[in-house]
Amino acid sequence: EHICVLESFKELSTLGFNSKNIDVTNECIVDTNKLQMQISSDTSLLSIIHVNNETGSVNNIEAISKLCSGKDIYLHTDAVQSFGKIDIDVKKMGIHSLSASAHKLHGPKGIGLVFAKSGTPLSPMILGGSQERNRRGGTEFAAGIIGFAEAIRIAKKEMNDNFETVSQLREYFINAIEQSSLQNYSINCKDSSFHYILSLTFDSNFYKNDSEAMLMFLDINGIAASNGAACTSGTLKPSHVIMNMGKSKEDAMGTIRFSFSAYNTIEEVNYTIETLEKMSRKFRK
């Protein structure tokens, strides 16, 4: 899960709720068999990320919702990575709530949305006026709301074309890197991840993995990448997501995430591969 969900559950724990994490597979998706065993009569809330922001792994929310069927369990999904990029049918998914953010589809920063099924109890985190149906006090961010709405309109119109472009870019990236001089690396969730994300791990047996130095090398060369969620960048801690997949701390410190956009080009991919080759020589043991 994204750190914002983990921290929210920590806060619930301080209020007397018991929370526990759900085991994932090596592909970083929820193990539904173990989930089924962990659901009890006391379970009231389940939050499952739709597409993981670091690996691109896709959880089958519809199948998970069926495990909650007939039980008094509210199911939330963090759809920040997928919203506006693929079709989402909240009724088919069987969820009670969904969160999304504008900046992930080239909209303005600082604005998001929460879909809540009718009857879902939501208490406001910001108290005050009756704005937004008493869900969030304070004057609405009108410019952000309008910008988000326009970003959704454009994303929906261009969704199929954008997905095809990004899929081709990602496939080209994978083929190019496999034909490059890079060695001793792995592509995380290569065949099952969302096409907008690609995660690479450099084997710590062969590389002096240092995520900060590696990202700085890429940044100096004009390439934006990350070793985890942007919200946790700068913490110098290995990604909990990568380590939960069974990777060592040392391997996690050598994991780099690339995000694709329909605005990227083949030329940019070629330049990135060339830069990764230079980086690999620099950090080789």
Residue type, 35: L
Quick count: other Cβ atoms within 10 Å of Cβ 226?
A: 20
Beta strand ranges found along the chain (DSSP E): 45-49, 74-78, 97-101, 112-116, 185-188, 197-202, 255-259
Residue type, 240: H
CA distance 180 to 277: 8
SS3 103: helix
The active-site residue out of 28, 68, 189, 231 is 231
DSSP character string of 3-24:
HHHHHHHHHHHHTT----PPPB
CA distance 38 to 167: 36
Q: Is the four-CA dihedral 151, 28, 255, 262 of positive or negative sign?
A: negative
- Residue where the block lists tokens 């709301």: 145
Sheet containing 74-78: give its strands across: 45-49, 74-78, 97-101, 112-116
- Alpha helix (H) ranges present in 187-226? 211-220
Any catalytic annotation for residue 28?
A: no
236 token code pair? 């110098």
**Would you name the residues annotated as active-site residues?**
231
